[in-house]
Structures are given as structure tokens and as C-alpha cells.
Chains A and B, each alone.
Chain A
Amino acid sequence: MAAPMIAEWSWFVALAFGVSFIKCLLINAYHSTDFEVHRNWLAVTHSLPVSQWYYESTSEWTLDYPPFFAWFEYGLSHVAKYFDKEMLVVQNLNYASPATVLFQRLSVIFTDLVFIYAVKECCKCCREDKGKDLLGKSSFILATLLLWNFGLLIVDHIHFQYNGFLFGVLLLSVARHFQKRHLEGALLFAVLLNLKHIYLYVSPAYGIFLLRCFCFTQNNADGSLQWRSFSPLRLVALGLIVLSTFAVSFGPFIVKGQLQQVISRLFPFKRGLCHAYWAPNIWALYNIADKALSILGVKLKLLDMSKFSKASMTGGLVQEFQHSVLPSVSPLITLICTLLSILPAVFSIWRRPNGARGFLRCMVICALGSFLFGWHVHEKAILMAILPLSLLAVESKEDARTFLILSTTGHFSLFPLLFTAQELPIKILLMLLFTIFSFSSLTKLFSKSGPLLNSVEVAYLLGLVPLELICEFVYPLTSWQHTLPFIPLLLTSVYCALGVLYSFIRLYLSVLTAPSTTGKAKSQ
């Protein structure tokens, strides 16, 4: 029976190899300061004792990921020493010898194996399509959308990060929940939180889902909660898993009394509302509205220009943004907004859980909500919504529609990350590749029920082309490039924010109007 199995998955291996080859070719491409960040962490974890890891600050890129990631870098550093010992010296700031670049790039490509495995597990959860040719199978489409995801490729293999590895853990945890192996899924997520704490964004979805669907073993006939089916044993098991993971991770630091230092490194709230490049979220629109109103107010003589700080009128994208007209925004406000935005969805899966799919949908909403309303959000965080949404996109037409809009705008908003001339063709080619594939394959998959996007949505997406031309080609040739250099970034950010917000609303509507799974009393 092994032979047919191998034949069945040979296309998967081909996809995985193909994308790995492209990744290898990108080894010599531009890399951002994140490269130095990780080199520094290799050096710090290798050369210094554990007690120094979160105190070390020779380099400005201090360790700001949780302990498991530090251990991960420690493990990598033991392989690194065979490539170039010099990269492990903390004082060698910005050290980037060819061997260093090769090692770091290969480490990302290699750890992507976790992602590849996770994608395979997710594909197994796809519904069977018998009788369809390979290119029309939902598992094939899903595998390509995930393995060849444009955002992941350029953020991980050009800009430089380890998102493939981390998203692999996330998707594996999701796959385990689909396969009803909930304890494994919970363990994986706990581990993930201790690898990169940004995944706290989606922890409400996990918490509520596990509580609702795992700790309560049965539903009533109409699908509502059966309070009496609460299983303390399961709750304890979950609690044990989560607590022990955190204990292993933070234990050494608590023992040494360093917990506060670690927390302060992990959550540096001194940074501003927005990143230097505004992520396409609500606050970008808020900032723009504030600027527009202030200009309007001055023109209409309603406001006194002398009251504004100089920076707010002519300054571009600065981190500490003083709002002139609208009220300023503090971290607490963003937290409240985020919680408010995800509460209805979380409440909805509590009342009417839709199994693992409902959980996934809630997770995407949590990720998007946090992206839209969070404090100092990086545009890369959009991937946390796009990747899980891919799983839903191959199964439902509505989700496919949302996915196309979100992925195209989300990916486009990543363009400013690669600003060098040499990478321009790559980012355009890869973007076209992914977009053409996703559109044509999803359209074909759902071709029976009419066109996927309506004309307004198509017009919006097509508008990205002139936007790119203006920002990348036309604007630099004008005189404004020197006086107002931030305008292209601002335009990109604001334009994409509209698309992201729209996708958020669509997803919410699909959750709130979803029919509940009625009838059977499910035992889990």
C-alpha cells in the first residue's frame, strides 16, 4: 500500500522542493536589520550564561522573544560555529560574512520543514475530492497557497525572520484540533506562545474554544451548552499542560528573580502607536482623518495653527504621533478596542460552536481584530490572519472571497518592506505568481456558483496596480520625493487599510450569520 500513498503525495513533495529551491536562490538577496537581530541573539545565547540573556544590551537589538525562542537560537548557535565562529562574538555588530549569511538563510529554509509538515497535516483535513484532476483538488490548492505564500516567502527569506517555523507550529496545532487531538493542539499552542508572544493575539480563540468544546463534552440537542457535561479532568489536563510549558520556559528566570526584566523586554510599550511605516489598520485611517481634519480646520479658520506642534503638520510617519484634532490614543485604549472588537466573535463560538472550523474562523477574527486595533502593530502581523484563512478559503465560497481580498491587500501592504531596486522585480513577480494562482484556482474551485468577487471588489483590487506604479515609479521622479517622502507609504497604508477592514467586517458577518450545527448531541 506504500506505493499508492507515495504516488498520492508526490505532488506535495514537488511543491515543497520547488519552493525550497526558490528560497535557496534568494540566499543572496537583500536582508533587513532583522538579520543582525538574529545574529546578535545567536551570539548572546551562545556566548553568555542564561542569567545574562535578558540583561545583555551591547547591541540595540535586545532579546525580546520568550525563552523558548532563546533556546532555539542557542541550539542553532551550535551548528553556526561550524560555519563561522566570528558571528557568535557579541561584539561583532553587523557581522555578515558570506558564511554567516549562508548559515542564517539555510537555517530558515531548514526550519521551514516544520511548516511543510504542518501544511501536510492541514491538507489531510481537507475534504476529499474524488474524480478531480490534481490542479483542481482543494488539498493541492491549499498546499500551494500555504507553501508558496507570498508574504511568508518575502518576509522570511528576503527580509529575514523565522515565521515559517512559527506558523508551522500554529498550523500544526490547528490541524491537531481538526483531528480532535486537542491536548496535542493545546501543547503546541502553549509552546508557540513561549516562542513568540505575538500569538497572544489569538489566544482568546484558543481559550474559549478549548473551554467550550473540550472541557464540556456534550451539547444539548439544539447545540447549546450542556453545563452538566463539564469534565474537570479535562480542564485539569489542559491546565497542567499549559502551566508546565510556561514553567519550563519561565522557570529558570523566575528562580533567578528576573521575571520582571524578561516581561519588560517582551512588552516594550515605550514605542509609539504606529510603527515607522503605518500598518494598514484602523489607526492609520485614524491618523489620516486627524491630519485631514486639522488641515481642513486650519483652512476654515476653525483652528489655530500655532497650537499644533510643528511635527504634526509637516512631519511624516513618526512613531510618537501627536494627534491634533482627534483625541490621542494610549495603549490602554487600543487594548480595550481590541477586546471589544473580538468579543462578539468569541461570544458567538461560546454560544454556537461550529467545531474546529468555527474555532478557526474565530482565530482569524482575533488575529485581524488585534491587527486592526492593536498598539504598535507590524504590517507583517497580517500573515497571522492570511495563513489560517487559507484553510477556510478552500472550503467555502464566502471565505474564498474574503481570502482573495485580504491576501491581495495584505500582501501588497508588505511591499514597502523590500525597498531596494534589485528586489523590485522579485517582489512583483512573486506577487503576480501568487495572485494569479490564488484567483484562478479558487475561481475554478467555486466556479459552479457564479463569479467570486463583485465588480466593486475587483475595481478596488485592480486599483492596486496604479497605486504601485505611482508609489514605485512615478512618485520618485517628482519633486515631492524630497519634501514629502512619506506620501507613497501613507497612500499604500491607507489604501490597504480599507481592504483589511472590509475583510474583517465580512468575516464577522459570516460568523454572526452562520447556521449552528443543530440536531446531533456531539460527544467529544
Chain B
Amino acid sequence: MENWSLVSVCVLLGLTTRWAVSFSSYSGAGKPPMFGDYEAQRHWQEVTYNLPVQEWYFNTTDNDLGYWGLDYPPLTAYHSLLCGHVAKLINPAWVELRTSRGFESAAHKLFMRTTVLFADILIYFPAVILYCIYLSDGSSKRKVATALCILLYPGLILIDYGHFQYNSVSLALTLWGIVGLGLGWNLLGALAFSLALNYKQMELYHSLPFFCFLLGKCIKQGLMGRGLLLLVKISLTVLVTFALCWWPFLSDPQLILQVLHRLFPVDRGLFEDKVANTWCSLNVLIKIKTLLSRDTQLLLSFALTLLSILPSSIKLLTKPTLWQFKLALVNSSLAFFLFSFQVHEKSILLPLLSVLSYSMLPLLLKDGLLLPYTVTSLAFLYLGVYLLSALDRSPEEELRLGSCALHLVFLQFTVSLVAMAGLSFTSVVLEPPARLPDLFPVLVSVFSFLHFLAMLLYFNLVQLTEPSSKKSQKKTN
């Protein structure tokens, strides 16, 4: 089969899976008074359409921040505004100020799902295709297989098309950034990533690698001359992008502060719910949430995050290659996920997306949509394992840790799979003991956390032990 038809088939499979998952229920369906993320997105369309920009992030009579107040950067708000305009054309009742709260209907669900699909087709799919064609290794068959794996990644599909969010937009923009940097289009990469940052502040997880990579490139080209010029151009691009996105808020520093306050809710504590990071897992043994004061918690998490990220960033700074960049992305997002403040389990999407580019399979993701979750996860795992074993690859070379370590990795991986399957099964089927009602979610979190920690150590090791002399570098930029 021709390559274009193979790629089309992958794209169509990805789209079909997404739309089929969208048949299922969404977050907070039929659950007044607060409903869920679906209602949050609808509410943002209502707020951005009806109110002037200056009021979007403020608590006013028309805008109750307690009811799903905006807590993403302005680009999300503009996107909601656009969707709000379309919604108004189709059915004004969907975005009426106040009266549309909790609005649910089959037509509205169709509309909301369509907006996600549209954003995906426009931004995410092209980014993935370009990435796989230009920036991944192997034969064209392997590239197509990688594309298929990424497009079928259940975590993203379930969150965006089941639970309901627009993660694909920010991930896509980041991916465009990676593609840009990988192909040597530094300004485009910087622009794309700035946009990503302005869409979801979670992309800060990836910001340090981008920064170090670009800075490293500039240094390599010589800080007295072309490198300096490049640095200036990149800085200008980033500044202009930010200025454009924050334009309506630039008139008043109070506005900027309020937006930042909404974006980084330091009042909400070290963590919420059960999330597979250090603090939540540590809390099982030592109740740090209550032991330490809020400021100490902030300082501790900030310090640890920075510390865990430092080695990887410095290495990238000294050796700005694409491979190092990819590794740094993984390490950075893992570090942020494990150690930073107020992390949500959805943030695991970022390191996992990075990890995907090495054809490693992702870990468990908790979600309320059991059926599509089971199906897509099984499909993904099965397909991934099948495709990986069927195609040629030389990970031994790439990972440079010897075949023995590789076998160890796969052994551990199989054990993890079995354990994960067991955990999923028991958490669905069995009732937890009365004294420990959160037993299963906590077990899953801790289990996943240990995996992530292991991954962090492993990938740091890989990145840092890369020799400075070029061995078999296929990528140059």
C-alpha cells in the first residue's frame, strides 16, 4: 500500500476511535448543581461571549468564580469565545448568561464534541503526522506505526472525548513547537510553544527544555554574532506572542495579577484527590499536607522540582541536540509531575506524550469511563506490543544500556502490566474494606508513582550518560 493511503487509514482510525468514544457520557452528566468539566467549558463560552474581557477573570455579579471560574490562560478564553459565537448561531439558549447553567441536550453534546474533533483535525493530527514523518526514526512503515500508536493513545482520547477537555490543542501546539525546533525552524517552534503556554499553563512542564534547547543552540552558534542575533529574534518572537495574547490585560497590572492568581491557585494546597506524585504518595506515610505550613510546602515543592530538573537542563544546555531535547522533555515533565504543587492526574498526559516518542507504552490512567477505557487501553496495549514486536528497531543502540538492561525493562514492564490489570480488575469488581475506603485509588496512585519515579531516574540516566562525542547521531540540526 502506498504511504499516503497508510497514513490516511491511520488518521481515519484515530478519528473513528475518537468519535466512537464521544458517544459515551461526559464529566458531570446529569449531576447538578456543579456538573463537571463539560459544564465548565460550556460556562466559559457563556462568560466569554457575554462579558467584556476585563471581567473574565474577576468575581462579579455576572461572573461567579466559584462556579467554574476561568483558570486557564487567555488563549483558552479566546477559543471559548470563538466556540461561543458558533453556539450562539446554532442555539442562543446554550450561552445565555446565567440561564444556560447546567444546560444539557443531545444537540448540545453533539456541538461540544464537534468542537473538540474540529480542533483535533485542524491542529493535533497535522502535528502528529509531521512529527512522525520528519522527527521519528525507522522505516516508513515504522513511522506510520508510531503515528498510529500516538493517534490511538487512549489517555488523550478518553480525557478529551469522554471526560471532556481540550488537551489536544495545547499538546498539539507543543508538538508543533517540537517539530519546529527539530526541523531547525526555531522561530516557529518558539512561537508554537508560546501559544501552547498561553493555552494551558500546564505546559510549563515543558518550558525548561524548550528554553535550554534554544539557549543552547544560540550559545553553540556563538554568543558574539549569529548566536546573539538568534537569541534576540527568539526573545522577540516570544515576547510579541505573549503580548498579543495578553493584550487586553496589559492596560492594568491588577488584571495581570488576578489572571495569574487564577492560573496558579497556591491556596489550594499541595495536592487534591489521588494523584500519582510524590506528595500524595508521601502523604500515605507522613501527613505532610497537615504537618507543614502552606509556605513551607510551596518552597519544598519548588526546590525539589528545580533540583530534579537541573541536571537534565544543564546537559541539554551544553549539548543541544534533538535527542537530548526529547529526553529532557520527558525528564522535565516527569519531574514537574512528581514534585510540583497542585498537580492533577491529567497532567500525566504531558510526560507520557513525550515518552510515547520512544515507543514506550504508557501507564495506567484512572478515569470514570470504564468501558471505553478498558477497550481503548487494551487495544492500545495490544496494538502497541504487536506493532513493536513486528517491526525492526534498534533500541539497544539508542538506549545504550545494553541488551541485558533492555530485557530487564521488558520483564519489569510485563510484571507491571499484569499488576496494573490486576489492580484495575480488583478496583472495579471488589469493594474496598470499610476502614480504608480509598484503598484502591491510593494503591493505584502509589503504584503509578513508583513507576514514574523509576522512569524519571531511568531517563535521567540515559540523558546524562550520553557521551559528548557523536557516536551514531542520525539527527543533526
| Chain A partners chain B | yes
Q: How far, in Å, is B283 (CB) from chain A's closest CB?
A: 37
Interface size class of A (residues with CB under 8 A): 20 to 34
Contact B372 A25 (CB under 8 A): yes
- State whether the Cβ of B379 lies closer than 8 Å to any Cβ in chain A: yes
Contact A27 B371 (CB under 8 A): yes
Closest to A29 in B: B23
Contact A436 B8 (CB under 8 A): yes
- State whether the Cβ of A469 lies closer than 8 Å to any Cβ in chain B: no
Contact B5 A25 (CB under 8 A): no
Provide the residues of chain A in CB contact with B106, threshold 8 Å: 422
Q: How far, in Å, is B25 (CB) from chain A's closest CB?
A: 9
Provide the residues of chain B in CB contact with A14, threshold 8 Å: 382-383, 386
Contact B1 A26 (CB under 8 A): no
Q: Which of A24, A25, A436 is within 8 Å of B9, CB to CB?
A: A436
A426-B17 Cα distance, complex, nearest whole Å: 9
Contact A426 B5 (CB under 8 A): no
Contact A422 B1 (CB under 8 A): no
- State whether the Cβ of B93 lies closer than 8 Å to any Cβ in chain A: no
Chain A 437-450, CB-CB to B under 8 Å as 1, else 0, gives 10111001000000
Contact A28 B16 (CB under 8 A): no
Provide the residues of chain A in CB contact with B382, threshold 8 Å: 14, 17
Interface of B, secondary structure class, is: helix
Closest to B109 in A: A422
A361-B473 Cα distance, complex, nearest whole Å: 56
Closest to B106 in A: A422
Q: How many residue pairs bridge A and B at CB < 8 Å?
A: 74
Closest to A421 in B: B110
- State whether the Cβ of A263 lies closer than 8 Å to any Cβ in chain B: no
Provide the residues of chain B in CB contact with A29, threshold 8 Å: 20, 23
- State whether the Cβ of A22 lies closer than 8 Å to any Cβ in chain B: yes
- State whether the Cβ of A433 lies closer than 8 Å to any Cβ in chain B: yes
Contact A25 B383 (CB under 8 A): no
Q: How far, in Å, is A237 (CB) from chain B's closest CB?
A: 44
Provide the residues of chain B in CB contact with A425, threshold 8 Å: 15, 19, 117
**Most B Cβ at <10 Å: residue of A14, A25, A425:** A25
- State whether the Cβ of A125 lies closer than 8 Å to any Cβ in chain B: no
Provide the residues of chain A in CB contact with B375, threshold 8 Å: 21, 24-25
Q: Which of B2, B20, B117, B371 is within 8 Å of A22, CB to CB?
A: B20
Q: Which of A17, A25, A422, A441 is within 8 Å of B17, CB to CB?
A: A25
Contact B16 A22 (CB under 8 A): yes
Q: How far, in Å, is A143 (CB) from chain B's closest CB?
A: 14
Q: How far, in Å, is A248 (CB) from chain B's closest CB?
A: 39
Q: In chain A, residues 1-28, which have Cβ atoms closer than 8 Å to a Cβ of chain B? A: 10-11, 14, 17-18, 21-22, 24-28
Chain A 25-68, CB-CB to B under 8 Å as 1, else 0, gives 11111000000000000000000000000000000000000000
Q: How far, in Å, is B313 (CB) from chain A's closest CB?
A: 40
Closest to A441 in B: B1
Contact A18 B383 (CB under 8 A): yes
A421-B107 Cα distance, complex, nearest whole Å: 9
- State whether the Cβ of A315 lies closer than 8 Å to any Cβ in chain B: no
A433-B20 Cα distance, complex, nearest whole Å: 15
Provide the residues of chain B in CB contact with A24, threshold 8 Å: 371, 375
Q: How far, in Å, is A146 (CB) from chain B's closest CB?
A: 16
Given contacts A14-B383, A433-B9, A433-B16, contact A440 B110 (CB under 8 A): no
- State whether the Cβ of B417 lies closer than 8 Å to any Cβ in chain A: no
- State whether the Cβ of B12 lies closer than 8 Å to any Cβ in chain A: yes
Provide the residues of chain A in CB contact with B110, threshold 8 Å: 421-422
Provide 13 A-B residue pairs closer than 8 Å at the C-beta atoms, listed in order of the A residue: A10-B386, A14-B382, A22-B17, A24-B375, A25-B21, A25-B375, A26-B20, A421-B107, A422-B110, A426-B20, A432-B12, A433-B13, A440-B1
Known: A14-B386, A429-B16. 6 other contacts (CB 8 A): A10-B386, A25-B17, A25-B376, A29-B23, A440-B5, A441-B1
